[in-house]
Amino acid sequence: WCSERGPSDLLHACPCPGGDRMLGGHSSSSTDPCFSSQLKTTTTAAISKDFTEDRIWLNGREEDVGQPRLQACLREIRRLARKRRSTGDGDALPLSLGYKVHVASVNNFPTAAGLASSAAGYACLAYTLARVYGVEGDLSEVARRGSGSACRSLYGGFVEWQMGEQADGKDSIARQIAPEWHWPQLRVLILVVSRWARSRNGRTVAVRSPTLQFRAESIVPERMKEMTRCIQEQDFQAFAQLTMKDSNQFHATCLDTFPPISYLNDTSRRIIQLVHRFNAHHGQTKVAYTFDAGPNAVIFTLEDTVAEFVAAVRHSFPPAANGDKFLKGLQVAPVLLSDELKTSLATEPSPGGVQYIIATQVGPGPQVLDDPHHHLLGPDGLPQRDL
Amino acid sequence: WCSERGPSDLLHACPCPGGDRMLGGHSSSSTDPCFSSQLKTTTTAAISKDFTEDRIWLNGREEDVGQPRLQACLREIRRLARKRRSTGDGDALPLSLGYKVHVASVNNFPTAAGLASSAAGYACLAYTLARVYGVEGDLSEVARRGSGSACRSLYGGFVEWQMGEQADGKDSIARQIAPEWHWPQLRVLILVVSRWARSRNGRTVAVRSPTLQFRAESIVPERMKEMTRCIQEQDFQAFAQLTMKDSNQFHATCLDTFPPISYLNDTSRRIIQLVHRFNAHHGQTKVAYTFDAGPNAVIFTLEDTVAEFVAAVRHSFPPAANGDKFLKGLQVAPVLLSDELKTSLATEPSPGGVQYIIATQVGPGPQVLDDPHHHLLGPDGLPQRDL
């Protein structure tokens, strides 16, 4: 796969973004075998003797290739490639480790908004670099140099990120609990609240939360077991309640750091209220919310509830201008809300509070893109104009 | 004190509201011996053979006297009065326990907004009823029938509400840590964010927070000791940081209930950010925030910092219309912010986010009002028109 012919050997992948919390299944990409999936990262990597330096373009903009996390990933993949060749396995693909690499990566969903774009990005990067450098086997180590949770995004379906016990973190790995086709009725709605990156104070964590250790030691392990059971048995009620409780507790521990971190805003809280009232109206837990490191809500529900809940969101957050573009991704049939439900929701509408909804479902792991039209780098090794 | 002459025996009191959390000192009323204090509850109680039923007026509106908490207070005070008379102590004041009572009470600060109006109200009620019925001694039991934290508002200055260990809660009492004149430089600013009562979902607590018990058992006891030390030694830096951390953890545990409770809103969070940036600019903790069961902020600072911080609040939350009425209570000299500080605050102004500020300081406990002009009930035992 080394290229004497210039950068014609390009590789691409699009993993499902992994959530920053309990289960990668919290976030998702389409199981649609075509690559118009709703939440994906696409990455192209190329090596060539003609390249004079490593370079990277993220979402069309060239970024500093010298940033530590990126360098750590490159070092690790090259180390594995070197190791592989020294053990002879690599002979099949004569590889010039000296070659510089060009990388281009794009997300088709909001970045740095608590939708695990970095997890998806680094998983995709590791997967793509591995193909370019002819590295096989577990890539967790490579991906985690970029983002801890990226190891989870290397798998499709429902993925658990095991805490592990070793000090060096070598046993902190991802494990697939169920494949993407395990729970076909499950749907995911991303309620995009804000196009902004996470709030400034989200970046500075001074003192760790006193309740965080308690949560990690006394609560999470039990919840992981229960969550795994919920998924394996497709127990939506329990899955939904545990998802909401864990999201709330995660944000509680953030608020307990000093200075406090608040990822949720008033719109996030209105969504939480909406979900609880929607469920109360139906007398059962039909919808669940979870929030990661941002105000955007990830909603879990089942196929038979999607249409009604989307209508409830439209009712509580009337689309500003883009009424037609309000819903992206999977098709959702428009339905009318019953007056009873409208009364139960009892919310004063917040126009534009939710910018748009991405309707999707649990998706697969990284996929190789063979069609050159999907390549982000052109024959010259530079980003394609039209991307 | 019993009245054969109709309701001429009126008693009044104005305690300092107690915070719903660690220390009553978190909230305050003026030490000003006159009764124009900034945060106070004024209550008038009268008994008369002419009254045909118990009645109560809160903030000018007659309320259902049958509500359980109120009835519990009345039962308890009458029980103590009966006991007192049976033991003979009461002979000094022949008392007709059969007489009905009229009560009028007003707060001069927002009610049901997390400013401990109920604690102040019930403490004031207990204190006033005690005078009417000639009951002396500790009134904690009476006040706590109305509101647990009301026992704390029976004292002035800095008051600790001890958790206690007995199942019957008899040892869950308030203790004054320091009198109101102990720390004269300490100032309190109430930033009134919202004129609304606490959010709807604040009323329904389904499942208790898993982290709440951990907090109560493992964190609060140590913090109480430390807070007491901070106050006794007037260690503002430590006092301020502990106050903020405990406020954040309290709200974290609220968020960890199910459904979650969020008392803070986006303006509350902007205030939190403002305080942290203000402190960071000065390189020391000069200001602290604490929030109770509502979005309004209670700010602690020292005399020499009040003016600059008030200017910072004006800068971040430009007064809507009422520029002149923006600051109530203690006088605060207007000052100009340095450009350096404005840069450090780096906040996009939120006009009207803070409705007004009440500037006050730690205040005394219940006081008897002798001046008839302050009575809330007229000679006919009904609320005075002008109140």
Q: What does the CA dihedral A87, A92, A98, A102 come to, rounded to 10 degrees? A: -120
User: A374 CB near a chain B CB, below 8 Å?
Assistant: no
Q: What is the mean pLDDT of chain B?
A: 80
Q: Give the single-character DSSP code of A258.
A: B
Percent of chain B with pLDDT over 90: 36
Longest dimension (CA), chain B: 71
Chain A residue with minimum CA distance to B219: A210
Contact A248 B258 (CB under 8 A): yes
Chain A residue with minimum CA distance to B280: A259
CA distance B257 to chain A (A): 8
Cα separation of B15 and B9, whole Å? 20
Cα separation of A299 and A195, whole Å? 18
Candidate from A200, A249, A276 with C-beta closest to B256: A249
Candidate from A209, A218, A252 with C-beta closest to B255: A252
Residue A340 buriedness (CB in 10 A; 0-12 / 13-18 / 19+): exposed
Average pLDDT score over residue span A204-210: 65
Mutate to test the interface with B, among A246, A255, A350 (most CBs of B within 10 A): A255
Alpha-helical (H) ranges within chain A are 68-86, 117-132, 140-146, 210-214, 220-232, 236-255, 266-282, 303-316, 339-345
A94 or A340, greater pLDDT: A340
Angle, helices A117-132 vs A68-86, to 10°: value is 30
User: B255 CB near a chain A CB, below 8 Å?
Assistant: yes
CA distance B2 to chain A (A): 51
User: A277 CB near a chain B CB, below 8 Å?
Assistant: no
Contact A258 B244 (CB under 8 A): yes
Candidate from B248, B258, B269 with C-beta closest to A256: B248
Chain B residue numbers touching A241 (CB-CB < 8 A): 258
Chain A residue numbers touching B251 (CB-CB < 8 A): 255
Contact predicate A69/A145, CB 8 Å: yes
pTM: 0.80
A137-to-A84, A134, B124, B257 alpha-carbon distances in Å: 11, 10, 73, 43
Contact B252 A253 (CB under 8 A): yes
Contact predicate B130/B139, CB 8 Å: yes
Kindly report, residue by residue over A326-335, the tens digit of the pLDDT.
Answer: 998 899 999 9
For residue A147, which amino acid is it?
Answer: S
Give the pair of three-digit tokens for residue B123: 């403490």
Longest dimension (CA), chain A: 71
Chain B residue numbers touching A265 (CB-CB < 8 A): 266, 269
Contact B214 A211 (CB under 8 A): yes
Of the listed ranges A155-164, A335-344, B32-41, the one predicted with least confidence: B32-41
Task: Return the pLDDT at B88.
Answer: 64
Closest to B363 (Cα-Cα) out of B28, B19, B14: B28
Average pLDDT score over residue span B316-322: 82
Q: Between A and B, how many CB-CB pairs are < 8 A?
A: 75
- Predicted ipTM? 0.74
Contact B214 A218 (CB under 8 A): yes
User: A226 CB near a chain B CB, below 8 Å?
Assistant: no
Q: Are strands A61-63 and A11-13 parallel, antiparallel or unpaired?
A: unpaired
Average pLDDT score over residue span B107-122: 71
CA distance B339 to chain A (A): 21
Contact predicate A142/A69, CB 8 Å: no
Closest to A138 (Cα-Cα) out of A128, A127, A122: A127
Please check the confidence at residue A50 and state whether its pLDDT lies above 90.
no
